[in-house]
A and B are shown apart, each in its own frame.
Chain A
Amino acid sequence: AQTVTQSQPEMSVQEAETVTLSCTYDTSESDYYLFWYKQPPSRQMILVIRQEAYKQQNATENRFSVNFQKAAKSFSLKISDSQLGDAAMYFCAYRSAVRGFGNEKLTFGTGTRLTIIP
């Protein structure tokens, strides 16, 4: 079974600065998908960024980028130019790429609560 670990329960960053949230995972599979979801106090889970394990290039979405280290099983999220609206709980998630019953589920980490200091 796959596991996802987020070792930082809480992080804070000054507005306009850069912050990195860490995520590690454990799997025996070679092909999979990794996601970062953001859940602000409004409760909706919002997809921030997605990485396909077979792609070596790190995914980027505007101010959000990842550092994907497949051998180390590490998938960190970097937020540049932090904004007040970035304050939220951030969940790292894993999904198997093996097609089969039950493999479609997302395995989430325990989350990191990010606070933005004005």
Chain B
Amino acid sequence: DTEVTQTPKHLVMGMTNKKSLKCEQHMGHRAMYWYKQKAKKPPELMFVYSYEKLSINESVPSRFSPECPNSSLLNLHLHALQPEDSALYLCASSQRLAVDQPQHFGDGTRLSIL
């Protein structure tokens, strides 16, 4: 069982829809991450939160809007997505935002944009 829980596991949405991806961990980790992974490619970092504050934004389009309402929860709000945004979205957490801290990943949300 994964210690990082992502919901939903699958999401199909139209380009005009608004939806949110949710990530939760109860390990007391204070750093949380969003990655995007296309088929047969490695994950690409999107956002990093440290102590509920956005620390890194890897030049992600504004149609993706992250939110960290508390230390256990990380959301990714989606609006007006494009077909090329279809991918697996992985959430990860680590004890702290420090280079020696391993990241623990969730199962991901597979997103399909119609």
Contacts and interface: CB of A to CB of B under 8 A. Distances in A.
Interface of A: 33, 35, 37, 42-47, 50, 52, 91, 95-99, 101-106, 108-111
Interface of B: 2, 31, 40-43, 45, 48, 55-56, 58, 88, 90, 92, 97-100, 102-108, 110
A118 B43 CA distance: 30
B59 to A, nearest CB: 11
Contact of B42 (A50, A91, A102): A91
- DSSP majority for the B interface? loop
A50 B102 contact: yes
- DSSP majority for the A interface? loop
A52 B102 CA distance: 12
A52 B48 CA distance: 23
Contacts of B106: 44
Given A33-B99, A95-B99, A99-B98, A47 B104 contact: yes
A101 B97 CA distance: 10
Contacts of B107: 42-44
A103 B58 CA distance: 12
A77 to B, nearest CB: 15
Contacts of B58: 105
Contacts of A47: 102-104
A106 B100 contact: no
A43 B35 CA distance: 13
A104 B56 contact: yes
Nearest to A31: B99
Contacts of B43: 45, 91, 106, 108
Contacts of A35: 102
Nearest to A35: B102
A89 to B, nearest CB: 8
A44 B2 contact: yes
Nearest to A96: B99
Contacts of B90: 43, 45
